[in-house]
Amino acid sequence: MTASDSTSEVLPDYSLLRALLGRRSRRFGLGMHIPGGPLAYRSKESPLPLTEAEEAILAFSACGITGHALEDLDYEQGGSRVAGLVGRTAGSADGIQNVVFVVSNDTATYLLRRPDDLTRPQIDEMTRLAEEGAFTELYRRTRVKIRDGRTVLPRETPSNLECNFWSLYAPGSTYFLPINDLSFFVINMLLDTFSESFGFFVMDERASFRAAGLRRFARSRGGHLRDALKEQAKGTVAFLENLAASTLCAEQGMMLQNVGLTVQAMGLGGFPHFSGHPFNWFEALGFRVNAMPIARYFGAGRFISAMLRLAGQNPPVHYPVGLERNGEVLLKAYCPPYYPSMEAAVRAVVARKWGPEGLFQKGSASGGAWRDGAAVTGRIPRCSDAAIDATISYCSYLYDRYGRFPVYYAPFFTLAGFQVTHVDVEFYDRFYRPQALTDAQREHLVKWHGGSQHDG
């Protein structure tokens, strides 16, 4: 039985509870080698790459398009924060579905297109293929090759943790890497945060807690943002950006948990691990990167900046802003250089929702799961001019002062990856109790590849 025709017979019979009970990080795969320590061992088998069908199922489990998001909200009270009407296998704040997924193996490295990268007919087709279980075809239609061969980072700190040096990027393995796309998410959040009903006021903690471009919008000056301390509606730039970044990291976590559970159901091995170097992954993947002296990157004052410069300790810091291939912009940050100004970037976010071709334009044909989508989307209120103006002023202040947006994070960043392999049963039988493997691992080669497996 091949991987492509075994899917419908194997996976539906594997319950979620069973996957939860059996899920473990199993790092040692066929062809791998632990060079030292009490578990030192060299596999007697050759590496066995995942088939395209196996990769396709795992990719779908992480971020597959599953149909319309329900977005069952009160659209007179904050519902206009929604920025997407398409569901994937992992949840997403505001329905944005902005987390990017990269798949890398011995042959190539791919980017998987997100809902916003597809047309409405393409999304409908992706949903149909998913419902039919045509995961390999779905995988082929959503992936874009961004480079030949496997993408790897140096096996050294701080690119990777020392405990993972022996296992990472092993031949035959497939590497899954979610990447957070932060700039759109932050701007969309600000349009709601700076609304009249929310009225949040933000201070710049690196500039003596001055108003972060929002002084004229403060209630104390006749505006709509609540700047009085007693109202407890004040915060800092770091607070907002950490909140946004943490939300997207939670989405990464949901994706990787989906991969881990599917790995168990399929009888594969693998493990999630730290991949949070701020720029090495993006340089390796070929992202467009900007550079900035480290003193400015971290917001150091003039005196400290001058001292670092004089001491020759002010090297450039690289940070990713986009990904382009063959003249096509695959990913772009909502900030310069892809927009002439932060005002243009903010207005692009607004247009993506309420512009002539936007998500919520009157009479929208992208009306999601509702019976009468146009009747719903046509009544979703546009964010106010006051909220837009405050968002533009805040974002422009940050970019003008710090030279980038967001300030504490690069527009694209990652935290964890997941490497998947075929389990070397003999290794686990030698060093572990029988319960270390489930029947799914012991039977995988038989059920998916027509091979043989040890019965322990």
Q: Per residue in 226-275, pLDDT tens? A: 999 888 889 999 999 999 999 999 999 999 999 999 999 999 999 999 99
pLDDT the model gives residue 306: 85
Q: Which of 106-110, 207-211, 296-300 has the lowest mean pLDDT?
A: 296-300
Domains within the chain, CATH numbers bracketed: 3-449 (3.40.109.10)
Contact of 220 with 230, CB cutoff 8 Å: no
pLDDT the model gives residue 78: 76
* CA pair distance 302, 278, nearest whole angstrom: 25
pLDDT the model gives residue 456: 41
pLDDT the model gives residue 144: 97
* CA pair distance 350, 187, nearest whole angstrom: 9
The set of residues, in sequence order, having a beta carbon less than 8 Å from that of 283 and lying 6+ positions away, is 289, 318, 320
Contact of 383 with 350, CB cutoff 8 Å: yes
* Angle in degrees, CA 316, 320, 326, rounded to 5: 125
Contact of 264 with 22, CB cutoff 8 Å: yes
pLDDT the model gives residue 372: 85
Higher local confidence (pLDDT), 362 or 61: 61
How does the average pLDDT of the chain come out, rounded?
A: 92
Could you tell me the pLDDT band of residue 331, with boundaries at 50, 70 and 90? very high
The set of residues, in sequence order, having a beta carbon less than 8 Å from that of 53 and lying 6+ positions away, is 2, 3, 4, 7, 135, 136
Q: Per residue in 10-37, pLDDT tens? A: 676 789 999 999 999 999 999 999 999 9
Contact of 359 with 84, CB cutoff 8 Å: yes
Tokens encoding 298: 């971290």
User: Rg of the chain's alpha carbons, rounded to an integer?
Assistant: 24
Tokens encoding 122: 């393409």
pLDDT the model gives residue 305: 84
Could you tell me the pLDDT band of residue 421, with boundaries at 50, 70 and 90? very high
| Cα–Cα separations (whole angstroms), residue 412 to 147, 334, 405 | 19, 11, 11
Handedness of CA 6, 7, 8, 14 (dihedral sign): positive
- Produce one character per residue of 66-101: b if its CB has 16 or more CB atoms within 10 Å, e if not: bbbbebeeebeeeebbbbbbbbbbbebbbbbbbbbb
**For 362, what's the count of Cα atoms within 13 Å in the CB-facing half-sphere?**
1
* CA pair distance 240, 98, nearest whole angstrom: 18
pLDDT the model gives residue 376: 86
Taking 60 as the threshold, does the pLDDT of residue 9 lie above it?
no
pLDDT the model gives residue 108: 98
Taking 60 as the threshold, does the pLDDT of residue 109 lie above it?
yes
Q: Per residue in 144-172, pLDDT tens? A: 999 999 999 998 888 898 999 999 999 99
Contact of 97 with 86, CB cutoff 8 Å: yes
Residue 323's SS3 state is strand
Q: Per residue in 33-58, pLDDT tens? A: 999 999 999 999 999 999 999 999 99
Residues of the chain with pLDDT > 90, as a percent, come to: 75
User: Which residues, in sequence order, are bridge partners of residue 179?
Assistant: 100
* CA pair distance 277, 94, nearest whole angstrom: 27
Q: Per residue in 342-389, pLDDT tens? A: 999 999 999 999 998 888 875 455 567 888 888 888 788 899 999 999
Give the pLDDT mean for 60-68.
94
Contact of 420 with 176, CB cutoff 8 Å: yes
* CA pair distance 291, 294, nearest whole angstrom: 9
Q: Per residue in 182-236, pLDDT tens? A: 999 999 999 999 999 999 999 999 999 999 999 999 999 999 999 998 888 899 9
Q: What's 433's DSSP letter?
A: -
pLDDT the model gives residue 373: 83
List % helix, strand, coil for the chain (3-state, nearest 5).
Answer: 40, 20, 40
pTM: 0.93
Give the pLDDT mean for 415-422.
97
* CA pair distance 127, 120, nearest whole angstrom: 11
Taking 50 as the threshold, does the pLDDT of residue 2 lie above it?
no
Q: What is the DSSP string of 359-409?
A: TT-TT-S--TTSTTHHHHHTTSPPPPHHHHHHHHHHHHHHHHHHSSSSSSS
